Chain A
């Protein structure tokens, strides 16, 4: 691991499951980050299996070009087998697969940077808007507000941990600096992860799946003095598409044409051109299908 002498950088986590090649997504996004944000300091946390698969499919040279700091950790097998999530490749294809997200709470300890932007690998960087975060007065920022790119679609269940609960923050993009306050924040995230039943009873999130959005939201609530929406939002809006959507094509390193599922007609789509704004694409298969093209544009 690199020493903490780097001023600013990006951190992502990439652990493959039996179907989704998260490491490939990390490579695609790293190339987009270099192209659109101009940032070379990119750390990806992965496991030996995901890395060796990527070395076979992408080659060591491309990986080195995309990511300048790889952190290889072993997976917690018990957690891996327990945390299953429903993944969709549009409404036509849904599968229960392992969802390995347990070590995101270690982001603070792993990051070698004084200023870090923690990203989901499927949050594609199609613009330079995140550069507004560097040097910010707020030491920790993440969004609770999001915007579906199908503007007609509304899902109030994503606003709170449960109907009467605290506001849900999205751990998709998190900016943080290395300060005492942020260290305490991540300590609480870890505590939630290690004691999920206690916090589930207290904050009443739905289902059995462990999500970082929950633990980050609870930490945000506690670290704000038990006040809702106490942590500042990022200076950029979080735009999302959902796993029921698909990608038509990538036009260049800033533009993607999407198929968006119509809200009142499941399985039926409309199209939209998404340009110059970062986008969270939940359909991982869709990104993998256009990954070659995106890599070519961003190289």
Chain B
């Protein structure tokens, strides 16, 4: 293998890595956006602490509670239906994230990362 072939290969790989990194960042951004939930005039970021806290409130027998949203505004919510919604959303979104992430991880060419054929169509 000549030096120029090696260099071309290395540059191709660098290009693949940049594309892959950018695509993974896009996937993360999409997941983050889907994990945002607006209700009663407030917006919440669905995450494990929020889910756990809501479950604890239900276990303590609470029905209506005030939570601070991403703007730190107090929002009154009906905890059981709120919990059901964020719990199912979290599972749905993270499962999709996993599937798409695995697909990306296994793609070893730029066109596969982008879901295109070899001609780029």
Residues of chain A touching chain B, judged by Cβ–Cβ distance below 8 Å, are: 127, 129, 132-133, 135-138, 147, 149-152, 232, 235-237, 239, 248, 257, 260, 262, 270-277
Contact (Cβ within 8 A) B23 A272: yes
Q: Whole-angstrom distance between the alpha carbons of A232 and B21 in the complex?
A: 30
Indicate the member of B22, B30, B71, B75 with the most A CB atoms within 10 Å. B22
Chain A residue contacts of B29, Cβ below 8 A: 147, 237, 239, 277
Query: Which residues on the A side are within 8 Å of B110 (C-beta)?
Result: 271
Chain A residue at minimum C-beta to C-beta distance from B74: A137
| Docked-complex contact A129 and B114, CB < 8 angstroms | no
Is the CB–CB distance between B38 and A271 below 8 Å?
no
Per-position contact with A for B93-121: 1 when CB-CB < 8 Å, else 0?
00000000000000000100111100010
Q: Is the CB of A272 within 8 A of B26?
A: yes
**Distance from A124 Cβ to chain B, minimum over Cβ atoms (Å):** 15
List 9 additional contacts besides A149-B26, A152-B18; criterion CB under 8 Å: A127-B33, A132-B38, A151-B21, A232-B71, A235-B38, A235-B43, A235-B70, A257-B116, A277-B33
**B92 shortest CB reach to chain A, Å:** 14
For the complex, what is the distance from the CA of A133 to the CA of B39, rounded to whole Å? 10
CA distance A257 to B114 in the complex (A): 8
Identify 30 residue pairs between A and B in the complex whose beta-carbon atoms are under 8 Å apart, listed by A's number.
A129-B33, A129-B36, A132-B37, A132-B38, A132-B43, A135-B38, A135-B41, A137-B42, A137-B71, A137-B73, A137-B75, A138-B71, A138-B73, A149-B22, A152-B18, A152-B22, A237-B33, A257-B114, A271-B19, A272-B19, A272-B23, A272-B114, A273-B23, A273-B26, A273-B114, A274-B26, A275-B30, A276-B33, A277-B26, A277-B30
A150 and B22 contact, CB distance less than 8 A: yes
Q: How large is the interface on B (under 10, 10 to 19, 20 to 34, 35 or more residues)?
A: 20 to 34
Within 8 A of A (CB), among B29-87: 29-30, 32-34, 36-38, 41-43, 70-71, 73, 75
Is there an interface contact between B41 and A136, defined as CB atoms closer than 8 Å? yes
Tell me whether B10 is interfacial, beta carbon within 8 Å: no
- Taking the closest CB of chain B, its distance from the CB of A176, in whole angstroms, is 15
- Least distance between B105 CB and chain A CB atoms (Å): 15
Number of residue pairs across A and B with beta carbons under 8 Å? Answer: 73
Q: Provide the residues of chain B in CB contact with A273, threshold 8 Å.
A: 23, 26, 113-115
Minimum CB–CB distance for A268 against chain B, Å: 10
| The 7 nearest A-B residue pairs measured at CB | A137-B41, A132-B38, A235-B43, A151-B25, A273-B114, A272-B22, A276-B30
Looking at the assembled complex, report how far the CB atom of B68 sits from the nearest CB atom of chain A, in whole angstroms. Answer: 12
Q: Which residue of A lies closest to B69 (CB)?
A: A137
Chain A residues with CB under 8 Å of B43's CB are 132, 136, 235
Q: What residue in chain B is nearest A134 (Cβ atoms)?
A: B38
Give chain B nearest CB distance to A80 CB in angstroms: 37
For the complex, give the distance between the alpha carbons of A235 and B75 in Å: 15
Tell me the smallest distance from the CB of B54 to a CB of chain A, in Å. Answer: 19
A110: min CB distance to chain B, Å? 25
Decide yes or no: A270 and B22 within 8 Å by CB, A236-B33, A236-B36 being known contacts. Answer: yes
B residues near A276, Cβ cutoff 8 Å:
30, 33-34
What B residues does A127 contact at CB under 8 A? 33
Give the chain A neighbours of B32 by CB distance below 8 A. 237
Nearest CB of A to B47, in Å? 15
Q: How many angstroms from the CA of A133 to the CA of B41 in the assembled complex? A: 8
